[in-house]
Amino acid sequence: MRRTIFAMAMAGLMSASFIARAQDVSGVARAVDGDTLNVSGIVIRLHGIDAPELNQGCARAGAPWSCGREAADQLATFVAGRQIRCEQRDTDDFGRVVATCKVGSLDLSAAMADAGLAVALPHFSAVYVPNEARARDRRIGLWDSDFQLPRDYRAAHPTAQPRSAPPATGARQSLARPKPSGVYYRGCNEARAAGAAPIYRGQPGYRPEMDGDGDGIACEPYRGRR
């Protein structure tokens, strides 16, 4: 009996070890947009940052600027023809792997934030907040332009879907789910007054009761509301 229990325990440990290894992805990557990669058919969302959507426009020096395209081009430059290594952190609502990815010693999330072409997501990870702050102080990339936060752009364009991802309802979600934060709003009026709306599923303060249409966005602007 003891041998049987020991064998079962060892099998469980080996299985857990295999699962852990399976969460690591490596290979040559293709940039889908400024924070999304495709590695041999596996779609990977970079952990801890949010870049402009591919078709998102900004304004720089009073002129239109394709900030979403530039972010995608910059990420493509970082990974061009090189092996990357990704360590999975979670899976998002669109079935994409959420991971920290590196080219050699270069952390791609840090590099995109350093270039001023992505914002940090402190409610998911505080790691890249200093990178964003340095780019903002230097007024480079997005910080030298007029731009919408990517989440606000998605809220204003609810039909936008992540590319190379399984179909899903609602706007794109932001990465891994955080641990409960204790943030609580009695209703959408309170969330809007606090400047927290819209609130995406997985973000602090989100509750299904506040998401009337079940699209993963609570307290979104009313259709036709200005």
**What is d(CA 47, CA 35) in angstroms, rounded to the nearest whole number?**
8
Do the Cβ atoms of 89 and 178 come closer than 8 Å?
Answer: no
Count of domains observed in the chain? 2
17 within some domain: no
| First-to-final CA distance of the chain | 70
Q: Quick one: average pLDDT of 101-119?
A: 97
30 within some domain: yes
The answer on pLDDT for 101 being more than 60 is yes
* Nearest residue to 97 (alpha-carbon basis) of 36, 34, 21: 36
Choice between 1 and 154, residue whose per-residue pLDDT is larger: 154
Residue type, 207: R
Q: Quick one: average pLDDT of 61-86?
A: 95
The answer on pLDDT for 150 being more than 90 is yes
Q: Which of 45-49, 176-180, 186-190 has the lowest mean pLDDT?
A: 176-180
Residue-wise pLDDT for 153-178, tens only, equals: 999 887 665 544 433 323 333 333 33
The answer on pLDDT for 5 being more than 70 is no
Is the same domain home to 217 and 154? no
Choice between 185 and 44, residue whose per-residue pLDDT is larger: 44
Is the same domain home to 114 and 205? no
Among the three residues 120, 144, 165, which one is the final residue of a domain in this structure? 165
Is the same domain home to 100 and 45? yes
Among the three residues 165, 187, 205, which one is the final residue of a domain in this structure? 165
Q: Quick one: average pLDDT of 52-81?
A: 95
Structural domain of residue 125, as residue ranges? Answer: 26-165
Is the same domain home to 189 and 99? no
pLDDT score, position 213: 62
**What is d(CA 137, CA 70) in angstroms, rounded to the nearest whole number?**
20
CATH number at residue 60: 2.40.50.90
